[in-house]
Amino acid sequence: AQTVTQSQPEMSVQEAETVTLSCTYDTSENNYYLFWYKQPPSRQMILVIRQEAYKQQNATENRFSVNFQKAAKSFSLKISDSQLGDTAMYFCAFITFVGSQGNLIFGKGTKLSVKP
């Protein structure tokens, strides 16, 4: 079975500090893509960052970076210089393709609160 586990239901961080959200996943496929999505109270699911499993280099997007450990099936998200607008639910997800079929598998999310 393909699963995503986010072991931290809730986290909080002070504004301007750094926080790391954890994610582990399980798949028997070798080719897949990993994502972090952000869902603020407005409900819109926003893509934060993506990582191709075949790339060893960790992805970065401005203040957001990942630590991808393929052997350990770990994909953590680091948010630097946290801002109040980062307050949201964060979902880790991955997608694999078997033939032409693939769909996103999500974790249960981590609720991040950024405090002033």
Partner 1 sequence: DAGVTQSPTHLIKTRGQQVTLRCSPKSGHDTVCWYQQALGQGPQFIFQYYEEEERQRGNFPDRFSGHQFPNYSSELNVNALLLGDSALYLCASSLDLIQETQYFGPGTRLLVL
Q: Is 57 in the site for partner 1 (CB under 8 A)?
A: no
Do the strands 10-14 and 110-115 form a parallel or antiparallel pair, or are they unpaired? parallel
Q: Rounded to the nearest whole angstrom, what is the least distance from the CB of residue 35 to partner 1 in the complex?
A: 8
Binding of residue 76 to partner 1 (CB under 8 A) = no
What whole-number distance in Å separates Cα of residue 94 and Cα of residue 30? 12
Bridge partner list, 96: 32
Rank residues 3 and 18 by Cβ distance to partner 1 and give the closer one.
Answer: 3
| Min separation Cβ 109 and partner 1, Å | 6
50 binds partner 1 (CB under 8 A): yes
Q: How far apart are CA 46 and CA 58, in angstroms?
A: 20
Q: Cα–Cα distance between 25 and 14 in angstroms, integer?
A: 28
Binding region for partner 1 (CB under 8 A): 4, 33, 35, 37, 42-47, 50, 91, 93, 95, 97, 100-109
